[in-house]
Amino acid sequence: MLSDLLILYHNIRGLRFDKLQECLTKLATNDSPVVLIIAEHWFPKRSQWPRFAPYYLDIPAYISESKRPSEEREHGHENGGLLILGNPIAKTLIKSIQKEQHYIYFEIGNLKLASVYLPPSLKPNEVRTILQSIPSQCNGIVGDINVRFGTRFKDVSTHPERRRTIESETTTRQLSHMIPTEGICKTDHVFTSIPCEFKYTKPAIISDHGRIEARFPAAITTNLPSIPKGPKKYALKVLQDPKIAKGMEAAW
């Protein structure tokens, strides 16, 4: 059986309860494999993590998160963070997860993806080191790289040295820089060597970033588990517990 694979990536600048609820709703309304990558879910100060972390670690959609920084940073985006969620089909198919502070690499179907968050505080040589540490078999990179690529993307151009570094490293891997068919991406980008349909949408979540929606046609070739018809409550049920909802809100 062949199935499309949908990769979603959204920098939401802090995973409040209402933002998590919207993210899980997006997972619950798709029958094909969906992986949702959330960036900057540690946007608040480190002192708030212990109160907040248990609520998203326990949800059924949870797959993995990046390594936490060794020390708290003054600005939220420097704390960064990547969180990976998936619907039941995707969770059964993901393998070979490798997590670092600035990226999570995983394999699903014929996609070998590195989801990245590169804070603006990183120097170009640090960006190069991070990109070169991604496994050599990687055939896709997606994420907020905090650089803008100019007129080709109907945007301004920023940080020329960082931009050249990223262009050099992705070219070396023979990854094409995808232009969205819908929307204008600024610092959120997709690089891949396999066919991909890329849209950049603006969901209801409060954030200054849009959402990457990258669909990889016929990317899954294994037999998929059957999905029952009707409402899908697997991801949202945990949020209906008033204690959990109240606890998450209190953490913010």
CATH number at residue 29: 3.60.10.10
pLDDT in tens, 40-64: 876 555 455 545 555 677 778 889 9
Residues 172 and 178: their CA atoms lie apart, in Å, by 16
pLDDT in tens, 129-184: 999 999 999 999 999 999 999 998 988 889 999 999 999 999 999 999 999 999 99
What global pTM score does this model have?
0.82
pLDDT in tens, 187-211: 999 999 999 999 999 876 767 888 9
For 233, which DSSP code? -
Does residue 222 carry a pLDDT above 90? no
Number of domain units in the chain: 1
* pLDDT the model gives residue 74: 56
* pLDDT the model gives residue 249: 47
3-state secondary structure (DSSP) of residue 221 = coil
Q: Write out the two tokens for 217.
A: 């046609």
Q: Where are the beta strands (DSSP E) in the chain?
A: 3-11, 34-39, 62-65, 82-86, 95-99, 103-108, 111-117, 140-144, 176-177, 188-192, 197-201, 211-220
Residue span of the structural domain in which 77 resides: 3-250
> Can you say whether residue 131 is alpha, beta or left, with left for phi > 0 and alpha for psi between -120 and 50 degrees?
alpha
Does the CA dihedral 51-54-59-65 come out positive or negative?
positive
* pLDDT the model gives residue 138: 97
Stronger pLDDT, 82 or 50, i.e. the higher one: 82
For 173, which DSSP code? T
